[in-house]
Chains A and B, each alone.
Chain A
Amino acid sequence: MSLEQLVGTVELPDLRKFLPEFILLVLAFTLFTLELTFKGEKKRRLLLTVSYAGYALVLLSLFVPWRHPGDTFYASFTNDALAVTVKLFATLLTMAVLAFVNAYYRHFRSFYGEFYYLLAFTLLGVFILASSYNLVILYVALELVSVGFYVLTALFRGSTASKEGAFKYLVLGGLSIALASYGAAFMYVYAGSLDLREILSYEGQDLHYLILGLVFFLIGFAVKIGAVPFHFWLPDAYQGAPTPVTALMASVGKLAFFIPLLRVMPLVQEKFSVVWTVTVGVIAALTMLFGNFVALVQKDVKRMLAYSSIAHSGYLLAAAAVAKELGMKALLYFLLVYGVMAAGSFLVLALLERGRGWRNELEYFSGLRFTLPAVAFAFFIYLIALLGVPPTAGFAGKALVFMALSFDELWWLAFVMILSTAVSTGYYVRLVVLMFMKEPVVETGRPVSAAAERLSLALTALASVLLGALPGLIWFLIEASVASILGR
Chain B
Amino acid sequence: MEYAGLAVVFLLALLIALGQAFLNDLIGYRKPDPMEDYPYECGVPLYDESVRGRFKQGYYLLGLLLILFDIEAAYLFPWAVVFEEIGLYGLVEALLFVGILALGFLYAWRKGALDWEL
Residues of A whose CB lies within 8 Å of any CB of B are 2-3, 29, 32, 36
Quick one: which of A2, A3, A32 contacts B103, CB cutoff 8 A? A32
Measured CB to CB, the nearest residue on chain B to A6 is: B86
Query: CA–CA, A32 to B106, complex, Å?
Result: 10
Query: Does B97 sit at the interface, judged by CB under 8 A?
Result: no
Query: Does more than half of chain A's interface fall in helix, strand or loop, or is it mixed?
Result: helix
Quick one: which of B86, B87, B106 contacts A36, CB cutoff 8 A? B106
Query: CA–CA, A3 to B86, complex, Å?
Result: 6
Could you pull out 10 A-B pairs where Cβ atoms are within 8 angstroms? A2-B85, A3-B86, A3-B87, A3-B89, A29-B103, A32-B103, A32-B107, A36-B106, A36-B107, A36-B110
How many chain B residues touch A (Cβ–Cβ < 8 Å)? Answer: 8
Residues of B with C-beta under 8 A to A32: 103, 107
Residues of B whose CB lies within 8 Å of any CB of A are 85-87, 89, 103, 106-107, 110
Measured CB to CB, the nearest residue on chain B to A1 is: B85
Measured CB to CB, the nearest residue on chain B to A113 is: B111
Measured CB to CB, the nearest residue on chain B to A36 is: B110
Report which residue of A29, A32, A36 has the largest number of chain B beta carbons within 10 angstroms of its beta carbon: A36
Measured CB to CB, the nearest residue on chain A to B85 is: A2
Seed contacts A2-B85, A3-B86, A36-B106; 7 additional CB < 8 Å A-B pairs? A3-B87, A3-B89, A29-B103, A32-B103, A32-B107, A36-B107, A36-B110
Nearest-CB distance from A10 to chain B (Å)?
A: 10
Measured CB to CB, the nearest residue on chain A to B88 is: A3
Query: CA–CA, A195 to B85, complex, Å?
Result: 30
Residues of B with C-beta under 8 A to A2: 85
Query: CA–CA, A36 to B107, complex, Å?
Result: 7
Query: CA–CA, A2 to B90, complex, Å?
Result: 12
Residues of A with C-beta under 8 A to B103: 29, 32
Nearest-CB distance from A148 to chain B (Å)?
A: 16
Residues of A with C-beta under 8 A to B106: 36
Residues of A with C-beta under 8 A to B89: 3
Residues of B with C-beta under 8 A to A3: 86-87, 89
Nearest-CB distance from A186 to chain B (Å)?
A: 24
The 9 closest A-B pairs by CB, nearest first: A36-B110, A3-B89, A3-B86, A36-B106, A36-B107, A32-B103, A3-B87, A2-B85, A32-B107
Query: CA–CA, A356 to B45, complex, Å?
Result: 45
Query: CA–CA, A348 to B10, complex, Å?
Result: 50
Nearest-CB distance from A373 to chain B (Å)?
A: 44
Query: CA–CA, A76 to B73, complex, Å?
Result: 29
Nearest-CB distance from B89 to chain A (Å)?
A: 6
Measured CB to CB, the nearest residue on chain A to B82 is: A1
Nearest-CB distance from A12 to chain B (Å)?
A: 14
Measured CB to CB, the nearest residue on chain B to A29 is: B103
Residues of A with C-beta under 8 A to B85: 2
Nearest-CB distance from A28 to chain B (Å)?
A: 11
Nearest-CB distance from A8 to chain B (Å)?
A: 14
Query: CA–CA, A3 to B85, complex, Å?
Result: 8
Measured CB to CB, the nearest residue on chain A to B86 is: A3
Residues of A with C-beta under 8 A to B110: 36
Nearest-CB distance from B83 to chain A (Å)?
A: 12
Measured CB to CB, the nearest residue on chain A to B90 is: A3
Nearest-CB distance from A163 to chain B (Å)?
A: 12
Query: CA–CA, A29 to B107, complex, Å?
Result: 12
Measured CB to CB, the nearest residue on chain A to B110 is: A36
Nearest-CB distance from A456 to chain B (Å)?
A: 31
Measured CB to CB, the nearest residue on chain A to B89 is: A3
Residues of B with C-beta under 8 A to A36: 106-107, 110
Query: CA–CA, A36 to B87, complex, Å?
Result: 34
Nearest-CB distance from B9 to chain A (Å)?
A: 24
Nearest-CB distance from B103 to chain A (Å)?
A: 7
Query: CA–CA, A32 to B104, complex, Å?
Result: 10
Measured CB to CB, the nearest residue on chain B to A7 is: B89
Query: CA–CA, A294 to B86, complex, Å?
Result: 59
Query: CA–CA, A32 to B107, complex, Å?
Result: 9
Nearest-CB distance from B26 to chain A (Å)?
A: 19
Nearest-CB distance from B53 to chain A (Å)?
A: 16
Query: CA–CA, A3 to B83, complex, Å?
Result: 12
